[in-house]
Amino acid sequence: SYDLTQPPSVSVSPGQAARITCSGDDLGRKNVCWYQQKPGQSPILVMYQDNHRPSGIPERFSGANSGDTATLTISGTQSMDEADYYCQAWDSSAFVVFGGGTRLTVL
């Protein structure tokens, strides 16, 4: 099996940078993507292939992936960014793997 570990929660003040991590064995060798999910809604892809933003995703979202850790950074966090965030990767034996999710709170 292959596991992705995320912190359950991250808090940030408006206007500050939020960093959400996702850890897995040798994760830097895999393509990582990130989803944002607000209550009662379907997930939205906010980052793919580590650091590529889909069309329509604000530039304040960025991604990095190296070693065992991938990071989603939201610069200048806004109240609308408050949501659950999930990382996801493809593993050759476990196939599609999701992290446990991180609740981002904008205080």
**42 versus 79: smaller Cβ distance to another protein:** 42
Q: Minimum Å distance from CB 37 to another protein?
A: 8
Instruction: State both tokens at 70.
Output: 């991938």
Closest approach of Cβ 47 to another protein, in Å?
8
| Residue closer to another protein (CB basis): 18 or 34 | 34
Q: How far is the CB of 80 from another protein (least distance, A)?
A: 19
Burial environment of residue 6 by CB neighbours within 10 A (0 to 12, 13 to 18, 19 or more): buried
Compute the distance between CA of residue 32 and CA of residue 70 in angstroms, rounded to an integer: 7
Query: Exposed, middle or buried: residue 59 (CB in 10 Å: 0-12, 13-18, 19+)?
Result: exposed
Rounded to the nearest angstrom, the gap between the alpha carbon of residue 28 and the centroid of all alpha carbons in its chain is 14
The smaller minimum CB distance to another protein, of residues 68 and 84, is found at: 84
Q: Which residues bind another protein (CB under 8 A)?
A: 1, 30-33, 35, 37, 42-45, 48-49, 54, 86, 88-90, 94-101
By beta-carbon proximity to another protein, the closer residue of 94 and 107 is 94
